[in-house]
Amino acid sequence: METINRLKENVEIILPQDGLEQKLEQAKNENRSLVIKLGFDPTAPDLHLGHAVVLKKMKQFQDFGHQIVILVGSFTATIGDPTGKNKSRKPLSIEEVQHNAETYISQLSKVIDVSKAKIVFNSEWLDKLSSSELIQLLSKVTVAQLMHRNDFNKRFTENTPISMHELLYPILQGFDSVKLNCDVEMGGTDQLFNCTMGRQLQETFNLSPQIVMCMPLLKGLDGKEKMSKSLNNIIGLTDEPTEMFGKTMSIPDNLILEYLDLATDFSPEEKQVVKERLSTGENPMDIKKAIAKNIISQYHSKEDADKAERFFQNQFQNKKFDEKAFTPVAIESLEAQNTALALINLCQKLKADMTKSALKRLIEGGGVQVNNDKVMDSFLDIELVAGTKIRIGKRDFYELL
Binding site for RNA (CB under 7 A): 159-162, 222-223, 242, 245-246, 249-253, 283-285, 288, 312, 315-317, 342, 355-358, 361-362, 365-367, 374, 378-379, 393-395
Cβ count near 357 (within 10 Å) = 9
CB of 96 to RNA, least distance (A): 23
CB of 352 to RNA, least distance (A): 10
**First-last CA distance in the chain:** 63
Distances (CA, A) of 201 to 154, 170, 177, 387: 24, 11, 8, 68
CA 193, 25, 72 angle in degrees (round to 5)?
40
Compute the distance between CA of residue 295 and CA of residue 348 in angstroms, rounded to an integer: 34
Compute the distance between CA of residue 335 and CA of residue 331 in angstroms, rounded to an integer: 8
CB of 249 to RNA, least distance (A): 5
CB of 322 to RNA, least distance (A): 17
Looking at the Cβ atoms of 22 and 153, the one nearer to RNA is 153
Cβ atoms 293, 309 nearer than 8 A:
yes
Looking at the Cβ atoms of 135 and 325, the one nearer to RNA is 325
CB of 216 to RNA, least distance (A): 20
Compute the distance between CA of residue 391 and CA of residue 399 in angstroms, rounded to an integer: 9
CB of 350 to RNA, least distance (A): 14
Sign of CA dihedral 126, 130, 135, 140: negative
Looking at the Cβ atoms of 191 and 242, the one nearer to RNA is 242
**Cα 36–chain centre separation:** 20
Looking at the Cβ atoms of 99 and 271, the one nearer to RNA is 271
Cβ atoms 393, 356 nearer than 8 A:
no
Cβ atoms 379, 308 nearer than 8 A:
no
Looking at the Cβ atoms of 8 and 356, the one nearer to RNA is 356
Among 305, 325, 377, which Cα is nearest to 347's? 377
Looking at the Cβ atoms of 193 and 312, the one nearer to RNA is 312
Looking at the Cβ atoms of 54 and 392, the one nearer to RNA is 392
CB of 189 to RNA, least distance (A): 23
CB of 245 to RNA, least distance (A): 6
Compute the distance between CA of residue 178 and CA of residue 175 in angstroms, rounded to an integer: 5
Looking at the Cβ atoms of 42 and 246, the one nearer to RNA is 246
Query: What is the length of the chain?
Result: 401
